[in-house]
């Protein structure tokens, strides 16, 4: 594989046969063809490489939820507290390498106290598990290439008679900082395990996580739902101990061929009721456009609760409990609708932070909405805003007794409306940061025609400052 670098085509990745002929990444394509005229090449695709790494990272969540990319060819896993599930650190490493081979990949791996040390040992030493003392000794024996610095820096170090990381560790760091920059001594400290920089996982660890691993892959849908139900019950016990309920639940299905499917359900209120969650996941499975295909079976199932909140038990008098039960029934209905039709299709109105009618309210997913109290008109007063707004406002022809007077009649959809009553104007100036400085102000009128129908009209522009003000119908009152 080749890619363009420094205005030249250079080797990016090689198969074993190319390595056997003495080629290496970074070599110019012209030099490679001079050595091996029959060389066949294709363009590298770093985006495809990243997507492949993301697939492998999802599979590696079988071993730990803390996985990170080490582009372009590696992964870093924080397996702290996970090794006992695989019979110890050596067992975990063996399982991971076996799984990579089963998926068709040739992999190298090392387990060490720090991410930088493990990465260097995986690339420049035999596979294995290293204790802190063993890791420090093994890293000290590594070649200078383990630093992964520029060729000029490696050449300068080599000319000074330095060959291994241990040779650098025995020298004062101040000299290296002056010659190669302040980050150079830090690289050495990280490799030797004296400084531990934690990884940033692709997915933040959930507050609650339970899982099941299977000796034989699970294929039957009834068995899959039964295991998921058991995981929900286990998660309930965990959340009860902490006095919490979940708002977001995510089920991960790890297939034997390395594919990972994730299904999530969201609730309006914190919950840990297994009946509700089992029903929501059943709804999710039934409504999938791409059905959950077990293939050769699932090796593991995991239930995570990424979002939790404090859980308050229902208390109070009979009337209060009845009101809470009604709210709970509505919440369960909205949860089922959201699960079946998707988060973006079940919406709720919220107040917008703007005074323009178009932005005064906005529709957001009901699961993300926050309960608000909407203002109501005084008793006996008509509403200030109509229930129905036209988007965009519809142009109308208006006749007024004077330029700045309320409309006396208007034509809309080929019909003339004689106005009996009019209230206004209510002047609304547009937000200059959104509409620009030249957008004219609007004068709104609430009007009622002789047939009792009520409309919301506005004049865009002012006669004294605009050449041609225009009238629009913006909404209809009920």
Confidence of residue 416 (pLDDT cuts 50, 70, 90): very high
Q: How far apart are CA 253 and CA 230, in angstroms?
A: 15
208/178: higher pLDDT:
208
User: What does the buried/exposed string (b/e) look like for 289-323 if buried means 16 or more CB atoms within 10 Å of the residue's CB?
Assistant: eeeeebeebbbbbbbbbbebeebeeeeeeeeeeee
CATH class of the domain at 208-337: alpha beta
Domain parsing of the chain, residue ranges: 2-44, 59-191, 208-337, 346-375, 388-476
124-168 per-position pLDDT tens digit: 988 889 998 898 899 889 988 888 888 788 888 888 888 888 888
More reliable by pLDDT, 115 or 358: 115
Bridge partners (DSSP) listed for residue 398? 410
Look at 387 and 75; give whichever has higher pLDDT: 75
Give the pLDDT band of residue 317 (cuts 50, 70, 90): low
Confidence of residue 320 (pLDDT cuts 50, 70, 90): low
pLDDT tens track for 76-116 = 999 998 888 889 999 999 999 999 999 999 899 999 998 99
Poorest-confidence range of 48-52, 218-222, 297-301? Answer: 218-222
What letters, b where the CB count within 10 A reaches 16 and e where it falls short, cover 71-97? eeebbbbbbeebbebbeebeebbbebb
Provide the pLDDT for residue 411. 95
pLDDT tens across 2-35, in order? 999 888 899 999 998 999 999 988 899 999 999 9
Calculate mean pLDDT across residues 276-305. 90
Name which of 68-77, 358-367, 440-449 the model is least confident about.
358-367
Q: Is the pLDDT of residue 257 over 90?
A: no
The pTM of this model reads 0.72
Tell me whether strands 110-111 and 128-129 are parallel, antiparallel or unpaired.
parallel
Per the prediction, the chain carries an average pLDDT of 87
Cα–Cα dist 413/350, whole Å: 31
Q: In this prediction, what percent of the chain has a pLDDT beyond 90?
A: 45
- Which residues have CB under 8 Å from 407's CB, separation 6+? 398, 399, 400, 419, 422, 445, 447, 457, 471
* pLDDT score of 187 more than 90: no
Q: Which residue has the higher pLDDT, 173 or 114?
A: 114
Whole-number pLDDT of residue 323: 73
What is d(CA 378, CA 367) in angstroms, rounded to the nearest whole number?
Answer: 31
Question: Is 441 strand, coil or helix?
Answer: coil
Instruction: Measure the CA–CA gap between 99 and 254, rounded to whole angstroms.
Output: 12
- Give me the mean pLDDT over the 254-280 stretch: 91
């Amino acid at each position: 594989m080749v890619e363009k670098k420094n205005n030249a085509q250079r080797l990016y990745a090689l198969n074993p046969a190319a390595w056997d002929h003495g080629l290496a990444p970074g070599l110019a394509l012209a030099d490679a063809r001079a050595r091996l005229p029959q060389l066949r090449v294709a363009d590298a695709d770093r985006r495809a490489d990243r997507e492949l790494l993301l697939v492998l990272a999802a599979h590696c969540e079988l071993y730990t939820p803390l996985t990170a990319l080490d582009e372009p060819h590696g992964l870093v896993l924080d397996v702290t507290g996970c090794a006992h599930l695989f019979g110890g650190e050596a067992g975990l490493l063996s399982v991971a390498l076996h799984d990579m081979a089963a998926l068709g990949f040739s992999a190298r791996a090392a387990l060490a106290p720090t991410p930088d040390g493990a990465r260097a040992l995986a690339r420049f030493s035999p596979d294995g598990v290293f204790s802190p003392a063993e890791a420090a000794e093994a890293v000290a024996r590594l070649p200078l290439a383990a630093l992964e610095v520029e060729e000029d820096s490696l050449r300068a170090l080599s000319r000074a008679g330095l060959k291994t990381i241990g040779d650098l560790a025995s020298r004062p760091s101040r000299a290296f900082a002056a010659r190669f920059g302040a980050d150079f001594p830090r690289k050495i400290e990280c490799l030797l395990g004296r400084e531990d920089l934690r990884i940033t996982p692709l997915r933040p660890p959930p507050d609650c996580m339970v899982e099941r691993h299977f000796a034989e892959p699970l294929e039957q849908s009834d068995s899959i739902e039964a295991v998921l139900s058991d995981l929900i019950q286990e998660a309930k016990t965990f959340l009860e101990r902490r006095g919490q309920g979940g708002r977001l639940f995510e089920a991960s299905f790890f297939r034997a061929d390395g594919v990972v499917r994730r299904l999530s359900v969201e609730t309006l209120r914190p919950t840990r009721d297994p009946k509700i969650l089992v029903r929501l996941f059943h709804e999710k499975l039934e409504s999938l456009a791409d059905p959950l295909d077990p293939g050769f079976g699932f090796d593991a199932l995991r239930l995570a609760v990424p979002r939790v909140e404090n859980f308050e038990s229902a208390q109070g008098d009979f009337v209060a409990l009845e009101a809470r039960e009604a709210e709970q029934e509505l919440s369960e209905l909205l949860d089922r609708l959201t699960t079946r039709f998707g988060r973006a299709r079940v919406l709720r109105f919220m107040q917008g932070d703007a005074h323009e009618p178009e932005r005064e309210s906005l529709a957001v997913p009901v699961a993300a909405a926050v309960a608000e109290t909407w203002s109501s008109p005084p008793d006996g007063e008509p509403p200030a805003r109509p229930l129905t707004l036209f988007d965009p406002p519809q142009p109308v022809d208006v006749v007024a007794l004077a330029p700045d007077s309320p409309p006396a009649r208007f034509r809309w959809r080929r019909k003339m409306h004689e106005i009996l009553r009019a209230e206004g104007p209510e002047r609304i100036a547009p937000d200059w940061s959104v509409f620009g400085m030249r957008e004219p102000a609007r004068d709104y009128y609430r009007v009622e025609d002789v047939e009792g129908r009520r409309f919301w009209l506005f004049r865009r522009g002012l006669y004294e400052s605009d050449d041609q003000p225009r009238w629009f119908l913006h909404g209809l009152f009920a």
